[in-house]
A and B are shown apart, each in its own frame.
With several copies, the nearest count.
Chain A
Amino acid sequence: MVTTDEWSESRLDVDPTAGEAFVVDLDGFEGPLDLLLTLARNQKVDLARISILALADQYLAFIDKLGEHRLELAADYLVMAAWLAYLKSRLMLPPDEVPQDEPSAEELAGMLAMRLKRLEGIRILAGRLLDRSRLGRDVLPRGAPEETGLVKRSLWEASLYDLLDAYGRQRQRDMVRVHTVRKRQVWALADARDILERLVGTIADWAPIDDYLVRYMTGPDSRATVRASAFSAALELVREGRMELMQSSPFAPLYMRKGPGGPDTPEEGA
């Protein structure tokens, strides 16, 4: 019944001239139950009708025979032999001599038969499983599967609230910046002094100071700061004697010229 090649190996070589004597390689067996099953199959009757007594005899004879040639037998086989010897003795006892609280010999025999049947059953099932059309061997999947990829797409999230909040915030920042950013442009005193010092060296006679400053007045905003800084710097230069200032009347144009302690004069140290 088992057709798959995995099962076809013969593990029990029966020598037809030797009657019930077997030439067996124990390595081929998957344990005592497997050996028992093989022996039972040899009875050529349905497992349900098997003679457990005969089977036990065969097994014990087989083990005996092996014992003559091999010193070592796996413990599993010996345990089974011992159990079968016990079962055999029980089977031959009259039923009324059996203690009541133990299973009867028939029940024990039935359990053994059941286990054999179950093992055989699972083997048949395994064979049927292997006989199925197996993927990759009997049936094949698509050889060149096509890409069934996952395309990730971003879903952008933003609410109108987020949008207005963002707008409000930055426009608010904008308002604040209007106040701080409007920095007044000033002509630093030091700058004014440097420039005046350079200018005054080139002027021999009285000249209106505004004429020279006008080029630094870049816009209406800067006129005041240039004038104020230049005036302050000029007063300082006058004190040091490097420059002379003259004004005919209040708010009249201011004239300047090189002072007696001009650039040629060594500095006195402020």
Chain B
Amino acid sequence: MNRSGMSDDAPHGQLRLFAGDRDPAEYEAWMAAIRGAEAILFASAQPVAAEDLAERLAPGTDVAHVLADLRTIYASRGVNLVEVAGKWMFRTAPDLAHLLTREQVEPKKLSRAALETLAIIAYHQPVTRAEIEEIRGVSTNKGTLDVLMETGWIRMRGRRRTPGRPLTYGTTEAFLVHFGLEAVTDLPGVDDLKAAGFLEGAVPPGFRVPVPNASDTLMPDEDPLTELDFQDYEPLPPEE
């Protein structure tokens, strides 16, 4: 009888537990060894050496075989028996590690500086840090860009082909999703901004709001990023 029955693909037929024509006493002894090893490995705070197990189980137990059987039994389970530095321990199956950590979502509000920077990146992309500073009239904190990178709403696009080869920034798809936009070109223009009250008073002649360019292909004056460019941003936001 297949007692563990936990998996279709585990070769349970190979378990010594189920091998051949065992006499009942031998089966009982083997079961006892398996159960004992299971309990000891479970309760131990440290990985257990095979010799240690041998000392604690019934004399004459084939510990290596017990461990091999246990490893097979648990191979497809939520916990696996693993050998670490010659000792044995139960450990959560690697593919289930995510179940052990629970995410707690913390709502956070963007700072005013971050919001302004984000807005400029959205409208003026591709845009360099110097250009952002020029528009805002103040220098931009590295932290502000870091926070925006963390939101996953902005990304580094490339490098402007000008002296100093500054990085260019743009928005991401996550940005569009979060703000409910189909494309950055959906961002309101001067007239809409005025109509909605975001711009007040007389707008001087020559004042314009750019039509954002968010196409993934680089602009003629943009060079692609190299791996070196990403070294500062570790770990990267998922959508990059």
Contacts and interface: CB of A to CB of B under 8 A. Distances in A.
The answer on direct contact between A and B (beta carbons under 8 Å) is yes
Contacts, number: 271
B91 interface: yes
B170 to A, nearest CB: 15
Contacts of B188: 125, 128-129, 164
A71 B198 CA distance: 38
Contacts of A149: 100-102
Of listed A33, A125, A157, residue having the most chain B CB within 10 A? A125
Interface stretch (A85-93, A113-121, A195-203, A255-263): A113-121
Interface stretch (A138-146, A210-218, A225-233): A138-146
Contacts of A155: 105-108
A32 interface: yes
Contact of B150 (A154, A163, A173): A154
B89 interface: yes
Given A117-B207, A122-B123, A132-B180, A158 B115 contact: yes
Interface in A126-185: 126, 128-130, 132-160, 162-175, 177-178
B166 to A, nearest CB: 19
B200 interface: yes
B112 A6 contact: yes
Main secondary structure of the interface of A (DSSP, over half): helix
A162 B43 contact: no
A76 interface: yes
B7 interface: no
A167 B206 CA distance: 17
Given A123-B119, A125-B188, A128-B188, A140 B196 contact: no
B101 A124 contact: no
Contacts of B97: 133, 137-139
A154 B106 contact: yes
Nearest to B198: A168
A126 B45 contact: no
B179 A134 contact: yes
A143 B43 contact: yes
Given A118-B207, A135-B180, A162-B110, 19 more contacts: A6-B110, A30-B136, A31-B136, A33-B136, A114-B205, A119-B137, A123-B119, A129-B118, A129-B188, A134-B179, A138-B94, A141-B46, A151-B101, A151-B103, A153-B106, A155-B107, A164-B188, A167-B120, A167-B123
